[in-house]
């Protein structure tokens, strides 16, 4: 499905006085409403905060494509839930060459494999985010116009839900406080162009559903967090929402702290956490483990962190995500899904487990599958299959059309365009370096098999916006690219005793906007701004 062939000229003209007034209103709104980040090298406890990077004006986004992305989210939720439950598929895809050449994914897969037959909690909780870019196919004879193409699907630590809600609220406030942004554009005077968006409320409700399914009112939710987290307010808003709207307390710990504190009852397998602040108080039982870390090798500096992750996995607590669900979000899974028949098998095969297809959904049809597949761009393996060999030649000879992706989350890991050929040559040189431990020749795949090749998505050109970097009192006018994320909630995997706990919902959106000159994003480091969509027809 495609939409407009062009977007409106943007942003509309502002007088210097109007511009200055919007800077003042947006910065004070952000600081007073917790639309904030901690500054770099913040003291503990923190004594200051900066406004999160933001856009002064919402960015135009085709209404039909925004609605399409929301419509498809339950299908994506169901797809990744079923992938997670298919151990043979995960073994084939992630337990093969990827686990041998990618040490991080290898540790994750081998750790999960070592304990999966003894897991005591069948329910799994996913707080997902499916990310898209607008794609404009301006090649000769193309009639596609502007469409959406999926960048990736996140199954762990899908962040910025709370701050995204604050961004939309800020833009609606500016619209009301300035008579529709001083009526400089008809798009800005219509309140219906500013979509209601509540991922904070919805994601917290998803965590609360996991807590309810666990079934113990005295239990808590554990947030596993990184040391020195700057994006702490995004997490804290979830914590406050859980306590104030659902009466559920949250405990925050790092892997380092959990290695000393976390205990599992040998009989019940309950996860118990004593309080370092109240040694005499009975340890709290954990209903849900929510990971806002554990997605990057930096979160596992030693074997102790892997031991802690596996220890938590063995408990009765519901994981968000489980190790299997984290594996399902790998880029290699995304690539294999694009192969013929794989998607149909996961979503149309009646023998697959019931994971729900969303409220009011009937039986899926091939039309549903085709609509989902239209959101994909070309994805190719980097192995020694015939398709992989063709992809390799394309990567070498036409690198300007591609991005090379490793099995990583968190941004900053991809190799773009003209950098690809040299990178692949360097990987080939590594293949021929002698190993310290002799292996059979065919036991060690090529290093490039840890990557996938993806066609570059080509966002529409000519769109600009005013972006304000956190902590600054000025905005820069930039040629922009905006990435739309759609949040989803999936509670699945129960046995016959808890099938009534199946949940599949869409949970809101995130729009991150950056200057076109940057391939990578990153809100905390100021490359991307948290934005909100202005729906246009």
User: Which residues make up each annotated binding site for ATP?
Assistant: 152, 331, 405-414, 416, 454-457, 483, 514, 520
Is there a contact between 511 and 405 (Cβ–Cβ < 8 Å)?
A: no
Q: State the CB neighbour count (10 A cutoff) for residue 282.
A: 10
Helices (H), 33-141: 63-85, 87-93, 99-101, 103-115
Is 397 labeled as catalytic in the residue annotation?
no
Strand runs (DSSP E) across 267-361, as ranges?
271-273, 284-291, 318-320
Q: Which of 129, 166, 309, 316 is catalytic?
A: 129
Length of the chain: 537
Is there a contact between 328 and 80 (Cβ–Cβ < 8 Å)?
A: yes
β-pairing verdict for 124-136 and 59-62: unpaired
Q: DSSP assignment, residue 447?
A: G
H or E stretch covering 402: strand 402-406
Q: Which of 201, 405, 447, 448 is catalytic?
A: 405
Torsion angle, CA of 400/406/412/415, rounded to 10 degrees? Answer: -20
Return d(Cα 238, Cα 290) in angstroms, integer: 11
Is 405 labeled as catalytic in the residue annotation?
yes
Is there a contact between 189 and 174 (Cβ–Cβ < 8 Å)?
A: no
User: What residues contact 155, with CB distance under 8 A and at least 6 apart?
Assistant: 80, 126, 128, 321, 325, 326, 328, 329
Return d(Cα 301, Cα 486) in angstroms, integer: 31
Return d(Cα 172, Cα 108) in angstroms, integer: 43
Candidates 168, 169, 150, 290; CA nearest to 220 is: 290
* Helix, strand, coil distribution of the chain in percent, nearest 5: 40, 20, 40
Q: Which of 154, 193, 399, 528 is catalytic?
A: 154
Is there a contact between 411 and 296 (Cβ–Cβ < 8 Å)?
A: no
SS3 state of residue 146: strand
β-pairing verdict for 318-320 and 402-406: unpaired
Q: Which of 2, 27, 63, 152 is catalytic?
A: 152
Q: Which of 388, 410, 471, 515 is catalytic?
A: 410
Return d(Cα 537, Cα 531) in angstroms, integer: 19
Q: Which two tokens stand for residue 329?
A: 């979000």
Q: Which of 331, 332, 448, 505 is catalytic?
A: 331
Return d(Cα 275, Cα 33) in angstroms, integer: 31
Is 154 labeled as catalytic in the residue annotation?
yes
Q: Which of 309, 319, 448, 512 is catalytic?
A: 512
Which positions make up the binding site?
A: 129, 152, 154, 156-159, 229-231, 235, 292-295, 331, 405-414, 416, 454-457, 483, 512, 514, 520, 523-524
Return d(Cα 342, Cα 476) in angstroms, integer: 45
Preceding omega of 251 cis (within 30 degrees of 0): no
Q: Which of 409, 450, 465, 469 is catalytic?
A: 409
339-345 contacts at long range (C-beta below 8 A, 24 or more positions apart): 343/79, 343/369, 343/372, 343/373, 344/369
Q: Which of 159, 270, 490, 528 is catalytic?
A: 159
Which positions make up the binding site for Mg(2+)?
A: 152, 154, 409
Candidates 192, 121, 162, 59; CA nearest to 460 is: 59
- Phi/psi of residue 429, each to 5°? -65, -35
Q: Which two tokens stand for residue 38?
A: 């901690």
Is 159 labeled as catalytic in the residue annotation?
yes
Which positions make up the binding site for substrate?
A: 129, 156-159, 229-231, 235, 292-295, 512, 523-524
- Catalytic residue numbers read 129, 152, 154, 159, 331, 405, 409-410, 512
């Amino acid at each position: 499905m495609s939409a407009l062939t062009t977007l409106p000229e943007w942003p509309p003209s502002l007088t210097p006085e109007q511009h200055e007034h919007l800077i003042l209103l947006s910065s004070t709104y952000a600081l007073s409403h917790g639309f904030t980040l901690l500054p770099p090298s913040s003291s503990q406890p923190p004594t200051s905060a900066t406004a999160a990077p933001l856009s002064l004006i919402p960015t135009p986004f085709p209404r039909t494509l925004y609605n399409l992305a929301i419509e498809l989210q339950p299908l994506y939720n169901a797809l990744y839930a079923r992938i997670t439950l298919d151990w043979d598929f995960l073994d084939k895809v992630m337990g093969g060459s990827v686990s041998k050449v990618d040490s991080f994914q290898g540790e994750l897969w081998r750790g999960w494999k070592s304990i999966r037959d003894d897991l005591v909690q069948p329910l799994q909780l996913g707080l997902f985010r499916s990310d898209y870019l607008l794609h404009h196919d301006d090649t000769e004879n193309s009639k596609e116009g502007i469409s959406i193409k999926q960048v990736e699907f996140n199954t762990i630590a899908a962040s910025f839900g709370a701050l995204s809600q604050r961004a939309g609220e800020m833009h609606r406030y500016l619209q009301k406080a300035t008579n529709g942004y001083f009526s400089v554009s008809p798009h800005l005077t219509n309140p219906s162009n500013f979509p209601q968006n509540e991922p904070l409320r919805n994601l917290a409700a998803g965590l609360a559903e996991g807590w309810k399914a666990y079934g113990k009112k005295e239990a808590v939710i554990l947030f596993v967090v990184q040391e020195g987290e700057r994006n702490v307010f995004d997490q804290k808003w979830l914590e406050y929402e859980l306590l104030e709207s659902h009466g559920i307390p949250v405990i925050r710990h790092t892997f380092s702290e959990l290695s000393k504190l976390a205990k599992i009852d040998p009989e019940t397998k309950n996860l118990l956490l004593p309080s370092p602040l109240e040694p005499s108080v009975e340890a709290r039982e954990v209903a849900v483990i929510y990971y806002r870390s554990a997605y990057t090798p930096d979160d596992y500096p030693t074997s102790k962190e892997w031991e802690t992750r596996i220890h938590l996995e063995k408990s009765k607590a519901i994981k968000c995500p489980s190790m299997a669900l984290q594996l399902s979000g790998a880029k290699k899974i995304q690539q294999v899904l694009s192969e013929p028949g794989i998607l149909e098998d996961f979503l149309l095969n009646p023998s697959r487990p019931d994971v729900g297809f969303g409220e009011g959904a009937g039986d899926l049809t091939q039309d549903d599958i085709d609509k989902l597949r239209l959101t994909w761009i070309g994805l190719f393996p980097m192995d020694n299959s015939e398709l992989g060999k063709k992809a390799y030649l394309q990567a070498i000879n036409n690198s300007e059309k591609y991005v090379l992706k490793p099995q990583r989350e968190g941004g900053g890991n991809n190799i773009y365009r003209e950098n690809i050929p040299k990178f692949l040559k360097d990987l080939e040189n590594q293949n021929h370096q002698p190993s310290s431990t002799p292996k059979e020749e065919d036991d060690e795949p090529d290093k490039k098999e840890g990557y996938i090749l993806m066609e570059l998505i080509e966002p529409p050109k000519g769109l600009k916006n005013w972006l304000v970097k956190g902590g600054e009192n000025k905005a820069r006018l930039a040629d922009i690219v905006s990435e739309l994320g759609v949040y989803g909630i999936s509670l699945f995997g129960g046995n016959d005793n808890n099938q009534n706990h199946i949940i599949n919902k869409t949970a809101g959106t995130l729009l991150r906007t950056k200057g076109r000159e940057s391939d990578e994003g990153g809100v905390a480091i100021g490359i991307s701004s948290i934005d909100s969509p202005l729906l246009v027809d």
